[in-house]
């Protein structure tokens, strides 16, 4: 089959690899109906260490189950399924607590001998715990929105939940990528009365307004901080969702968070150390939270709104390509020509 591998910054290739097969009795093999390219895929696209063997890519996909192992009981051949962006047993204490990304037996796509979703098919470990069957046809118009439950919608929702967004909290969302826009949607769903979206791309921030943003701030850095403070009587907002991952976005978050407030990060940090001392977080009692979204844990909560059409998170996809065009897709997302790209293998 064909699958996507990255070898060095900017070097993405679609190559022939052996078809995935069942290896463990808890596995399923899923034929990919749609996958996509994630903003976080652009981090290695900028800075990965070159590798001869390449790294398989993709951690978001929906598809149809082609085969299941002998111990799989809830997933059947022919099921249409959503695969969240980590695999997990669904039974350990972490899974029961809603943190399947820390599952005692789980892991992430593209690590060990588990390959990624930007491919024609994927071997899915722990299929019962990982996959969520949904009664839709594979040509359903809901597919793009269902695919967002793999990662990007769950990630935006995680940011809002960890930030403790509610009816009494004002929110700033830093970043107008797909995660930022779906964090806006999530904050709106959780009742936030004011949602300030910081982003510079008008087509994206327009979608952000459609998702519930009440204000848009195009400035960045000190000017951006000043603009948010001007909108909030000098205070900043109770919650700041950081959906970028660069230090400049972290600094912006510190600049616009209200004393006693929360910075909730879902952009994968491209730094290891950051200011957290008296002057930044400690003095004003700021909480720093977030991490990789336990997307699997949110699917039951978010699926009904997708199925009944009350939300349409799939609007973040603005281009659809075939698998062989994935390298061009990376370029288009990196150039900001495309917001988020749907891949039809």
Give the span between the Cα atoms of 286 and 281, in whole angstroms.
Answer: 5
Give the span between the Cα atoms of 245 and 40, in whole angstroms.
Answer: 9
CB nearer its own copies, residue 188 or residue 265: 265
Are 90 and 26 in contact by the 8 Å Cβ rule? The answer is no
Region from 30-38, 62-70, 264-272, 303-311 binding its own copies, contact rule CB under 8 A: 264-272
Among 45, 80, 94, 109, binds its own copies (CB under 8 A): 94
CB nearer its own copies, residue 1 or residue 99: 99
Query: What are the angstrom distances between the C-alpha of 252 and each of 141, 179, 194, 257, 322?
Result: 38, 17, 18, 9, 37
Among 83, 207, 231, 288, binds its own copies (CB under 8 A): 288
Q: Return the SS3 of 51.
A: coil
- Torsion angles phi and psi, residue 248, rounded to 5: -60, -35
Report if residue 193 touches its own copies, rule: CB under 8 A. Answer: no
Region from 113-121, 219-227, 278-286, 316-324 binding its own copies, contact rule CB under 8 A: 278-286
Region from 92-100, 169-177, 187-195, 316-324 binding its own copies, contact rule CB under 8 A: 92-100
Report if residue 167 touches its own copies, rule: CB under 8 A. Answer: no
Residue with tokens 């695919």: 147
Report if residue 276 touches its own copies, rule: CB under 8 A. Answer: yes
Could you give the string, one character per residue 14-53, with x where binding to its own copies holds by CB under 8 A and - elsewhere?
----------------------------------------
Query: What are the angstrom distances between the C-alpha of 281 and each of 93, 238, 256?
Result: 31, 13, 12
Report if residue 285 touches its own copies, rule: CB under 8 A. Answer: yes
Among 1, 42, 226, 274, binds its own copies (CB under 8 A): 274
114 token code pair: 């588990």
Give the span between the Cα atoms of 148 and 128, in whole angstroms.
Answer: 20
Report if residue 102 touches its own copies, rule: CB under 8 A. Answer: yes
Give the span between the Cα atoms of 67 and 30, in whole angstroms.
Answer: 7
Region from 20-28, 97-105, 184-192, 318-326 binding its own copies, contact rule CB under 8 A: 97-105
Sign of CA dihedral 202, 42, 299, 243: negative
Q: Would you tell me which residues interact with its own copies (CB under 8 A)?
A: 94, 97, 99, 101-102, 162, 259-260, 265, 268-269, 271-292, 294
């Amino acid at each position: 089959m064909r699958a996507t591998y990255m070898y060095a910054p900017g070097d993405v290739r679609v190559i022939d690899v052996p078809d995935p097969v069942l290896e463990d009795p808890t596995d399923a093999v899923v034929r990919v109906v749609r996958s996509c390219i994630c903003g976080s895929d652009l981090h290695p696209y900028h800075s990965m260490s070159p590798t001869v063997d390449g790294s398989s890519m993709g951690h978001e996909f929906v598809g149809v189950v082609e085969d299941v192992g002998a111990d799989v009981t809830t997933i059947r051949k022919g099921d249409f399924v959503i695969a969240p962006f980590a695999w997990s047993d669904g039974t350990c204490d972490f899974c029961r607590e809603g943190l399947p990304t820390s599952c005692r037996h789980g892991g992430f796509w593209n690590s060990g001998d588990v390959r990624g979703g930007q491919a024609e098919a994927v071997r899915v470990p722990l299929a019962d715990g990982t996959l969520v069957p949904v009664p839709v046809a594979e040509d359903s118009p809901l597919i793009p929105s269902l695919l967002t439950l793999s990662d990007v919608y769950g990630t935006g929702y995680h940011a809002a939940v960890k930030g403790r967004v509610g009816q009494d909290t004002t929110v700033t969302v830093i970043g107008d990528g797909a995660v930022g826009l779906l964090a806006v949607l999530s904050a709106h769903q959780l009742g936030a009365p004011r949602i300030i979206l910081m982003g510079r791309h008008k087509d994206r921030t327009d979608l952000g307004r459609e998702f519930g943003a009440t204000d848009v701030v195009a400035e960045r850095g000190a000017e951006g901080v000043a603009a948010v403070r001007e909108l909030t009587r000098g205070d900043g907002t109770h919650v700041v969702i950081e959906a970028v991952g660069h230090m400049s976005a972290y600094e912006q978050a510190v600049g616009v968070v209200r004393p006693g407030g929360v910075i909730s990060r879902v952009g994968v940090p491209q730094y290891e150390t950051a200011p957290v001392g008296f002057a930044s977080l400690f003095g004003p009692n700021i909480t720093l939270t977030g991490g990789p979204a336990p997307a699997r844990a949110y699917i039951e909560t978010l699926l009904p709104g997708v199925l009944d059409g009350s939300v349409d998170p799939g609007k973040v996809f603005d281009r659809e390509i075939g698998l062989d065009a994935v390298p061009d897709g990376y370029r288009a997302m990196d150039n900001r020509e495309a917001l988020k790209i749907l891949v039809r293998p």
